[in-house]
Amino acid sequence: MTGAIIDGTQIGEQIRAELHDRVAELVTQGFRPGLGVILVGDDPASAAYVRMKERRCADLGMHSDNTTLPSDASERDVIAAVDRLNRSPDVHGILVQMPLPAHIDSRRVIQAVAPDKDVDGLHTVNLGRLMAGEEGFVPCTPLGVLELLKRTDSNGLSGAEVVVVGRSALVGLPLANLLMQRGIDATVTVCHSKTRNLAEQTRRAQILIAAIGRAEFIRGDMVSDGTIVIDVGINRVDDPSKKRGYRIVGDVAYDDVAPKASAITPVPGGVGPMTIAMLLQNTVTACERITRSR
Amino acid sequence: MTGAIIDGTQIGEQIRAELHDRVAELVTQGFRPGLGVILVGDDPASAAYVRMKERRCADLGMHSDNTTLPSDASERDVIAAVDRLNRSPDVHGILVQMPLPAHIDSRRVIQAVAPDKDVDGLHTVNLGRLMAGEEGFVPCTPLGVLELLKRTDSNGLSGAEVVVVGRSALVGLPLANLLMQRGIDATVTVCHSKTRNLAEQTRRAQILIAAIGRAEFIRGDMVSDGTIVIDVGINRVDDPSKKRGYRIVGDVAYDDVAPKASAITPVPGGVGPMTIAMLLQNTVTACERITRSR
């Protein structure tokens, strides 16, 4: 058997179709959800991401507000741009495109975003709300993983044994906190570089989530038959056969693991496309909360 | 064999002795750590706790600032009292004694405390800092559990298999997040009411932490030989043989579990005395941070 492929591209499209209706409903009430994006510098990959976000907003009938600052912009300039978006009534969600140039402290910039517009979910207040089980914003990649699981696992997440490998503040930790919340109710173990007998832990998993940042780290002998495998990794490995000289692989050795998995995300085309769908979803949610509070 | 008893009363005394020196050092630099406590109403148990905190502060040479409000004080009154302490240069840590009367929203009062004086560690910003691995305040009970473990387990916590039963925002979740942090490095599983085969999970634990709030819930057959057992529970059970009509028991069936444990906390006298020691420690730390930033 080879596991079902969890098609993040297709699920992302479904979600955008659902969002299209929510945006239309908001527009009839006189609100147009708006995403404000700040790009610092001229990294071509970052610029391409920002253009894609702008295009996706337009497709859904959302407003977007893009600010591009030169690569030598000061931290103060960036925070001033954030502050303008904090105050703009047309902007409901704010994204600062990462990475920022090295002379800027990313944490300080993220903390400058108004928590109720922090659709990236990275502000300390939103991480705290997540732990406390309060309404806030969940970071986009963890939220995308949850959506993939909800739309994949017919047995449900409640009580399921989930093993998360990786404990980053961006993915592993918020994801673990999200999955153990009331109403989701997974039994979650977080493993990391200091974990003894990692393979014993991963073989216990009914759902295994790899968010380590090491190319093809999870091998077939670390996975039990029938496991659902979610691969959050995006790693470049040299590949002279490719025109650009590298290819993108996940944290899971796909060909080795897929035959044992009951379902598995490919890389690319798994978690990646969900991240932007969740950014748009958080922005629509931010706008809905504002209409609700009026 | 019967496990070693982890004596929280004695470890709490040790910690207070260490704090005594840190306070003396601060005083020579012209800073006296101060704890501000707000008590609303006249619940005798709460009043007794507050008096004990005041006495402990005095013993260490710390300043204390107690505000007592009547039980019909409004939320606004309580927040005004918090705000006075936020602005007082003599107060480095603030504690609002729980529970508050039912007409007051505790979450709103906690959010009114300045995060850098929130020595109870319950403010959303401090929960977020904990998840992000940033400097803040860790809630007193989880921090007390960590201290007990550090002073008990000669094998160290790094890589140890920890199972936390219970996922409250006050204990279970911050404790799990704390133990999995870099530098502590435990491999943590959080179990709860929806966990399937709970006994299988608890039997895997090298360190088992019960924070469920159900009297004597963890039985001997749920624990493997040699486990370190930490009991966070404080439950009243009827006991006509006692003058007051009840006795206090933990979440662990002590007599059943102790023979299998390599070390175990009693209730009372285990985690309980650590909570107040950690409150004092957080207050001294808050004062040290202020001197450091000058």
pLDDT tens readout for residues A181-237 = 999 999 999 999 999 999 999 999 999 999 999 999 999 999 999 999 999 999 999
Q: Does the beta-carbon distance from A196 to B159 stay under 8 Å?
A: yes
Average pLDDT, chain B: 96
From A136-145, B21-30, B149-158, the region with the lowest mean pLDDT: B149-158
Q: Does the beta-carbon distance from A190 to B188 stay under 8 Å?
A: yes
Give residue B207's pLDDT band: very low, low, confident or very high (50, 70, 90).
very high
| Cβ neighbours, 10 Å, residue A150 | 12
Fold assignment, B140-273: Rossmann fold (3.40.50)
What is the distance in angstroms between the CA of the first residue and the CA of the last residue of chain A?
Answer: 54
Chain A contacts of B211, Cβ < 8 Å? none
Which residue from A107, A125, A173 is facing B124, i.e. has the nearest CB?
A125
Q: What is the SS3 assignment for B152?
A: coil
pLDDT at B292: 85
Mutate: best of B165, B195, B203, partner A, most A CBs <10 A: B195
pLDDT at B147: 96
Report whether A251 contacts A269 (CB < 8 A): no
Buried-state track A76-105, b at ≥16 Cβ within 10 A, e below 16:
ebbbebbeebbeeeebbbbbbbeebbeebe
pLDDT at B156: 87
Report the gap between the CA of A224 and the closest CA in chain B (Å).
18
Chain B contacts of A107, Cβ < 8 Å? 134
Report the gap between the CA of A35 and the closest CA in chain B (Å).
24
Q: Report chain A residues touching chain B, CB-CB < 8 A.
A: 107, 123-134, 158-159, 161, 167, 169, 173-174, 177, 180, 182, 185, 187-192, 194-196, 201
Domains of chain A, residue spans: 30-115, 140-271
The vertex-A73 CA angle with A69 and A74, nearest 5°, equals: 140
Backbone angles phi, psi at A264, to 5 degrees: -155, 145
**B201 vs B197: CA distance, rounded Å:** 7
Chain A contacts of B161, Cβ < 8 Å? 196
Chain A contacts of B118, Cβ < 8 Å? none
Q: Quick one: average pLDDT of B8-34?
A: 97
**What's the DSSP call for residue A39?**
E
Report whether B31 contacts B290 (CB < 8 A): yes
Is the predicted pLDDT of residue A256 greater than 70, yes or no?
yes
Average pLDDT, chain A: 96
Report the gap between the CA of B23 and the closest CA in chain A (Å).
30
Tokens linked to B191: 């179990």
The stretches of chain B forming alpha helices (DSSP H) are 8-28, 44-60, 75-87, 106-112, 124-132, 140-150, 172-179, 198-204, 254-257, 272-292
**What's the DSSP call for residue B117?**
G
**B86 vs B110: CA distance, rounded Å:** 12
pLDDT at A154: 63
Q: Quick one: average pLDDT of A37-43?
A: 96
Is the predicted pLDDT of residue B15 greater than 80, yes or no?
yes
Tokens linked to A174: 């918020």
Separation in Å, CA B131 to CA A133, A138, B174:
13, 13, 8
Report whether A29 contacts A290 (CB < 8 A): no
The predicted complex's ipTM stands at: 0.95
State yes or no: is A111 an active-site residue: no
Chain A contacts of B173, Cβ < 8 Å? 131, 177, 180
Tokens linked to A75: 């931290």
Report whether A21 contacts A280 (CB < 8 A): no
Q: Among residues A7, A120, A231, A251, which one is catalytic?
A: A120
**If 0-12 CB within 10 Å is exposed, 13-18 middle and 19+ buried, where does residue A58 land?**
exposed
Q: How many distinct helices (H) and strands (E) make up chain B?
A: 10, 11
**How many angstroms from the chain centroid is the CA of residue B12?**
12
Is the pTM value of this prediction over 0.90?
yes
Separation in Å, CA B35 to CA A238, B6, B26, B47, B168:
58, 28, 14, 16, 26
**B170 vs B142: CA distance, rounded Å:** 8
Is the predicted pLDDT of residue A85 greater than 80, yes or no?
yes
pLDDT at A84: 98
**A63 vs A202: CA distance, rounded Å:** 43
pLDDT at A153: 72
**A291 vs A173: CA distance, rounded Å:** 31
Report whether B3 contacts B260 (CB < 8 A): yes
Mutate: best of B137, B157, B179, B187, partner A, most A CBs <10 A: B187
Report whether A270 contacts A6 (CB < 8 A): yes
Backbone angles phi, psi at A161, to 5 degrees: -90, 110
Report whether A179 contacts A188 (CB < 8 A): yes
Give residue A293's pLDDT band: very low, low, confident or very high (50, 70, 90).
confident
Q: Does the beta-carbon distance from B131 to A201 stay under 8 Å?
A: no
User: Percentage of chain B with pLDDT > 70?
Assistant: 99
pLDDT at B154: 63
pLDDT at A155: 73
Chain A contacts of B202, Cβ < 8 Å? none
From B31-35, B97-101, B123-127, B153-157, the region with the lowest mean pLDDT: B153-157
Q: Which residues of B are catalytic, by number?
A: 53, 97, 120
Fold assignment, A140-271: Rossmann fold (3.40.50)
Is the predicted pLDDT of residue A263 greater than 70, yes or no?
yes
Fold assignment, A30-115: Rossmann fold (3.40.50)
pLDDT tens readout for residues A122-148 = 999 999 999 999 999 999 999 999 999
Is the predicted pLDDT of residue A31 greater than 80, yes or no?
yes
Nearest residue to B147 (alpha-carbon basis) of B16, B33, B53: B16
**A43 vs A30: CA distance, rounded Å:** 36
- CB neighbours of A83 closer than 8 A, spacing ≥ 6? A112
Tokens linked to B103: 């007409």
Which residue from B159, B177, B201 is facing A173, i.e. has the nearest CB?
B177
Report the gap between the CA of B70 and the closest CA in chain A (Å).
29
Report whether B31 contacts B87 (CB < 8 A): no
**B185 vs B189: CA distance, rounded Å:** 13
**B213 vs B168: CA distance, rounded Å:** 10
pLDDT at A2: 60
Is the predicted pLDDT of residue B288 greater than 90, yes or no?
yes
Q: What is the torsional sign of CA B177, A158, A206, B206?
A: positive
Tokens linked to B193: 């009411």
**A240 vs A237: CA distance, rounded Å:** 10
Q: Does the beta-carbon distance from A192 to B187 stay under 8 Å?
A: yes
CA-based diameter of chain B, in Å? 58
Is the predicted pLDDT of residue A264 greater than 80, yes or no?
yes
pLDDT tens readout for residues A10-28 = 999 999 999 999 999 999 9
Give residue B17's pLDDT band: very low, low, confident or very high (50, 70, 90).
very high
Same fold across B31-115 and B140-273: yes
Residue labelled with tokens 């404990």:
A167
Q: Does domain B31-115 have CATH number 3.40.50.720?
A: no
Nearest residue to B31 (alpha-carbon basis) of B288, B293, B278: B288
Which residue from B133, B185, B196 is facing A169, i.e. has the nearest CB?
B133
Report whether B78 contacts B108 (CB < 8 A): no
Q: Using CA atoms in the order B75, B77, B82, B88, what is the torsion angle rounded to 10 degrees? A: 170
Q: Does the beta-carbon distance from B169 to A131 stay under 8 Å?
A: yes
- Helix or strand (DSSP H, E) at A292: helix A272-292
